[in-house]
Amino acid sequence: EAGVAQSPRYKIIEKRQSVAFWCNPISGHATLYWYQQILGQGPKLLIQFQNNGVVDDSQLPKDRFSAERLKGVDSTLKIQPAKLEDSAVYLCASSFSEGASYEQYFGPGTRLTVT
Amino acid sequence: KQEVTQIPAALSVPEGENLVLNCSFTDSAIYNLQWFRQDPGKGLTSLLLIQSSQREQTSGRLNASLDKSSGRSTLYIAASQPGDSATYLCAVSGGITGTASKLTFGTGTRLQVTL
């Protein structure tokens, strides 16, 4: 079974530029998550989708971050404009459905460096 | 707000030693607790998932326990090997303000097993 795919793996941009990340979840997984992991910290949930609807985006900085999951499969996360503090690894995860019983499977992440 | 703490932050042990990693959380109203492994530059791999009604889970040389009432979990690794070197993350789902699938992570324990 193919795992969660993310691209690009690495991205370097200057502050105030925009950037987009792509995630393809495991086939058949209805729930998709985006996490931000700053160096030395644990991942922090940014947004959770159930199919193409948003379940939780309470920690998403909506003035600069946006995410969508068209057709309930692939998802993109965008940052515009980027700030230095956005430097982090952005992890995508998916699970079969929402709920505590369903294990989350993580992709390799995209490492973003903002200079 | 749920807070997860992991002690120690870093640990170095000689090969073959048994070791214990600790995790504590402030809100005991959780749905489950997961232990993950993260290798440098890679995503997270789920090791063990303990439902709130369970006391422990075992997988190979790994054993995780959960004391929900006291807000504690331990990950026991038997007969450690150099290949166990990684960062180990604890995460809980739920809590008063969280959804069943929303994970709150600790900052991790960086483990190095030496020859």
- How high is the pLDDT of residue B44? 92
- How high is the pLDDT of residue A72? 86
Residue from the list A91, A99, A109 with its beta carbon closest to the beta carbon of B101:
A99
Mean pLDDT for A87-112 is 90
Integer Cα distance of B2 and B91 in angstroms: 10
C-beta atoms of A43 and B105 within 8 A: yes
Residue from the list A55, A104, A107 with its beta carbon closest to the beta carbon of B103:
A104
Contact B100, B106 (CB under 8 A): no
C-beta atoms of A100 and B45 within 8 A: no
- How high is the pLDDT of residue A49? 94
pLDDT band for position A30 (cuts 50, 70, 90):
very high
- What is the overall mean pLDDT for chain A? 94
Burial of residue A48 (CB within 10 Å: 0-12, 13-18, 19+) is buried
Q: Which of residues 17-56 of A touch B (CB under 8 A)?
A: 31, 40-45, 48, 55-56
Contact B102, A49 (CB under 8 A): no
- How high is the pLDDT of residue B95? 62
Residues of B in contact with A108 (CB under 8 A): 41-43
Ranges of residues in chain B with a pLDDT under 50 are none
Contact A7, A109 (CB under 8 A): no
Nearest to A60 by CA among B102, B108, B44, B88: B102
C-beta atoms of A108 and B42 within 8 A: yes
- How high is the pLDDT of residue B97? 56
- How high is the pLDDT of residue A100? 66
C-beta atoms of A42 and B91 within 8 A: yes
**A57 reaches B (C-beta below 8 A):** no
